[in-house]
C-alpha cells in the first residue's frame, strides 16, 4: 500500500515547473489534480467491490502495475494532455490500492481489533502519500531534468513491489455475493450501511470530504501561496511541507488509535476549522510561524478525521459490503478533493489567488463548523456498534 500510493502525490511539488514549462494557468493545475482524483473516484465506483470477489492480493497486484505505468508516463509526458492522462492512470490505481489494501489489513487482523485495523490502513496510506512528495521534491531540487528524475524512486520501488507481491500466494476466503443484490463487476456502485447507521456514516464521510479538501489545497497550490509566507522556495520546500502534513497526520493517527471515532471526528474537525482561520489570516500577514502552525493544525485535522471515519466504516460494515462502504467513503473524500479546489482555481484565474484564497478558507471553515455541530448533536450509538 505504501509504495502504491507514494506515486500519487509525488507530482505536487513539481506543479510550478510544469506551469512554467507549458505556460499553464492556476485552473490548469487544479484541473489536472482533480483529474487524478476523478480517476481514483472512477476506480472506487467501478472497481471497489472487486476485492470482495477476487481477493485483495490480486487487486492490489494489478493496482501496483497500473500506478507504475502511470508514473512512467508522467516522467515521459511531453505536453499537458499526456501528463493529464498519466495522472488519471495513477488515480485509477490509487483507488484499487487503497481499497484492496485496507480490506486486506482488516482480514489479516487475527485479533479482530477493527480500530487497530483502521489505524494501520490510514497510517500506511498517509505515510505513503507523504513519502512521494518528499522524495520527488528533493530529487527535483538538486538533480538535473527534475521532471524525469523525480519519478525514478517511485518507479524503482513500484517494480520491486510488483515482483514481491507476485510471489505471494496468500488466499483469503471470499464471501459469495448475493446475485440478487450485487450489480455486475464493472457497474458503478454506491454502498450505504443499514438505515440506522446511515446518518452517522454520511457525517463521517463528510469528515473525510473536509480533510481531503484541506489537503488538496496544499497538494495543488501550496507552492503558489507559500511564496508569500516562507522565505524558502523550490520543489524540496513544498514537497517537505506536504510530506510533513502527511507524516504528522500518520503520527496523530497512531497516537489517537485508542480514542473513539466520535472523539477523533470532533477533534479533527475543530483542528481543520482552526487551520482555515490561520491560513486566512496569514494570507495577509505572511508569517512563517503562522504557516508552520497552519501545517500542524491541518495535519492534526487530517489525521483525526481519517482515522475516525475509517473506524466508523469498519464498525458498521459487514463481510459482504465492507469494501463497498470503504469505496463509497473514499469517493466522498475524493469529491472533497476535486470540487472545492476546482472552484478555487477558477476564482484565482479571474480575481487572483491572493483574493480567492481567503474566500476558500472562509467557506471551508464554515462548512467544517457545521459538520462539527451536527456530529456533536448525534445521540450515542448502541453498545454493539459504539463509536
Q: Are 72 and 151 in contact (CB under 8 A)?
A: yes
Q: Which three cell numbers stand for residue 260?
A: 473513539
* Residue 262: pLDDT over 80: yes
Is 1.20.1050.90 the CATH classification of the domain at 2-168+190-385?
no
* pLDDT per residue as tens digits for the range 209-223: 999 999 999 988 887
Query: What number of other Cβ atoms are within 10 A of residue 343's Cβ?
Result: 16
* Residue 48: pLDDT over 90: no
By mean pLDDT, which of 37-46, 87-96, 355-364 is the weakest?
37-46
Q: Which three cell numbers stand for residue 231?
A: 522565505
By mean pLDDT, which of 84-93, 108-117, 236-245, 335-344 is the weakest?
108-117
For the purposes of burial, counting CB atoms within 10 Å of the CB of 239, is it exposed (0-12), middle (13-18) or buried (19 or more)?
Answer: buried
Higher-confidence residue of 39 and 179: namely: 39
pTM over cut 0.75: yes
Strand blocks (E) in the chain: none
Q: Which are the contacts of 218, defined by CB distance < 8 A and separation ≥ 6?
A: 12, 241, 242, 245, 295, 298
Q: Which three cell numbers stand for residue 266?
A: 470532533
* Residue 32: pLDDT over 60: yes
By mean pLDDT, which of 105-114, 145-154, 242-251, 329-338 is the weakest?
105-114
End-to-end CA distance of the chain: 26
Cα separation of 279 and 185, whole Å? 43
Cα separation of 70 and 355, whole Å? 35
Cα separation of 198 and 194, whole Å? 6
Cα separation of 63 and 61, whole Å? 5
Angle in degrees, 0-180, between the axes of helices 322-351 and 80-107, rounded to the nearest 10: 150
For residues 30-53, average pLDDT: 79
For residues 80-103, average pLDDT: 86
For the purposes of burial, counting CB atoms within 10 Å of the CB of 135, is it exposed (0-12), middle (13-18) or buried (19 or more)?
Answer: buried
* Residue 278: pLDDT over 60: yes
Confidence grade of residue 82 (pLDDT, cut at 50, 70, 90): very high
**What's the pLDDT at 164?**
80
For residues 376-381, average pLDDT: 79
Higher-confidence residue of 105 and 210: namely: 210
**What's the pLDDT at 85?**
96
Q: What percent of the chain has pLDDT over 90?
A: 37
The per-residue pLDDT of the chain, averaged, comes to 83
Confidence grade of residue 12 (pLDDT, cut at 50, 70, 90): confident
Cα separation of 236 and 277, whole Å? 26
Give, in order, the Cα–Cα distances in Å from 178 to each of 189, 315, 332: 15, 21, 25
Domain ranges of the chain: 2-168+190-385
* Residue 267: pLDDT over 80: yes
Cα separation of 116 and 110, whole Å? 11
**What's the pLDDT at 55?**
67
Q: Which three cell numbers stand for residue 243?
A: 510530506
Vertex 373: Cα angle to 123 and 354 (nearest 5): 70
Q: What percent of the chain has pLDDT over 70?
A: 82
Q: Which three cell numbers stand for residue 103?
A: 480490506
Cell 520501488 found at: 157
* Residue 385: pLDDT over 60: no
Angle in degrees, 0-180, between the axes of helices 114-142 and 80-107, rounded to the nearest 10: 150
Q: Are 375 and 203 in contact (CB under 8 A)?
A: yes
Taking Cα atoms as reference points, which of 240, 86, 246, 77 lies closest to residue 146?
Answer: 77
By mean pLDDT, which of 13-22, 119-128, 203-212, 338-347 is the weakest?
119-128
Cell 524540496 found at: 236
For the purposes of burial, counting CB atoms within 10 Å of the CB of 363, is it exposed (0-12), middle (13-18) or buried (19 or more)?
Answer: middle
* pLDDT per residue as tens digits for the range 193-212: 778 778 888 888 999 999 99
**What's the pLDDT at 298?**
96
Amino acid at each position: 500500500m505504501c509504495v502504491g500510493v507514494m506515486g500519487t502525490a509525488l507530482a505536487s511539488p513539481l506543479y510550478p515547473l510544469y506551469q512554467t514549462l507549458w505556460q499553464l494557468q492556476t485552473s490548469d493545475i487544479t484541473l489536472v489534480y482533480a483529474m487524478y482524483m476523478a480517476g481514483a473516484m472512477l476506480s472506487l465506483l467501478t472497481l471497489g467491490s472487486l476485492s470482495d470477489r477476487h481477493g485483495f492480493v490480486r487487486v492490489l497486484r494489478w493496482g501496483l502495475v497500473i500506478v507504475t505505468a502511470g508514473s512512467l508516463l508522467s516522467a515521459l509526458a511531453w505536453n499537458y494532455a499526456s501528463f493529464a492522462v498519466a495522472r488519471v492512470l495513477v488515480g485509477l490505481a490509487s483507488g484499487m490500492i487503497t481499497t484492496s489494501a485496507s480490506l486486506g489489513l482488516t482480514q489479516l487482523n487475527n485479533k479482530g481489533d477493527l480500530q487497530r485495523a483502521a489505524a494501520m490502513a490510514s497510517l500506511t496510506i498517509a505515510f505513503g502519500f507523504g513519502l512521494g512528495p518528499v522524495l520527488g521534491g528533493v530529487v527535483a531540487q538538486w538533480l538535473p531534468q527534475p521532471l524525469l528524475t523525480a519519478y525514478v524512486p517511485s518507479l524503482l520501488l513500484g517494480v520491486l513491489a510488483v515482483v514481491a507481491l507476485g510471489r505471494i500466494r496468500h488466499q483469503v476466503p471470499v464471501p459469495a455475493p448475493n446475485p440478487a443484490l450485487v450489480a455486475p463487476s464493472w457497474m458503478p456502485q454506491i454502498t450505504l450501511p443499514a438505515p440506522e447507521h446511515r446518518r452517522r456514516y454520511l457525517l463521517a464521510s463528510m469528515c473525510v470530504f473536509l480533510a481531503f479538501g484541506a489537503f488538496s489545497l496544499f497538494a495543488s497550490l501550496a507552492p503558489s501561496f507559500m511564496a508569500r509566507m516562507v522565505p524558502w522556495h523550490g520543489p524540496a520546500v513544498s514537497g517537505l511541507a506536504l510530506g510533513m502534513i502527511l507524516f504528522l497526520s500518520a503520527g496523530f493517527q497512531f497516537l489517537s488509535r485508542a480514542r473513539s471515532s466520535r472523539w477523533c471526528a470532533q477533534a479533527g474537525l475543530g483542528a481543520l476549522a482552526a487551520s482555515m482561520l490561520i491560513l486566512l489570516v496569514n494570507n495577509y500577514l505572511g508569517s512563517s510561524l503562522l504557516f508552520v502552525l497552519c501545517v500542524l493544525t491541518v495535519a492534526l485535522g487530517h489525521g483525526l478525521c481519517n482515522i475516525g471515519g475509517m473506524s466508523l466504516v469498519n464498525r458498521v460494515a459487514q463481510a459482504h459490503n465492507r469494501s463497498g462502504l470503504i469505496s463509497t467513503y473514499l469517493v466522498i473524500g475524493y469529491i472533497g478533493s476535486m470540487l472545492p479546489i476546482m472552484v478555487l482555481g477558477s476564482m484565482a484565474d479571474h480575481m487572483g489567488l491572493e483574493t480567492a484564497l481567503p474566500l476558500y478558507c472562509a467557506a471551508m471553515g464554515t462548512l467544517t463548523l457545521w459538520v462539527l455541530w451536527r456530529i456533536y448533536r448525534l445521540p450515542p450509538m448502541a453498545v454493539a456498534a459504539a463509536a
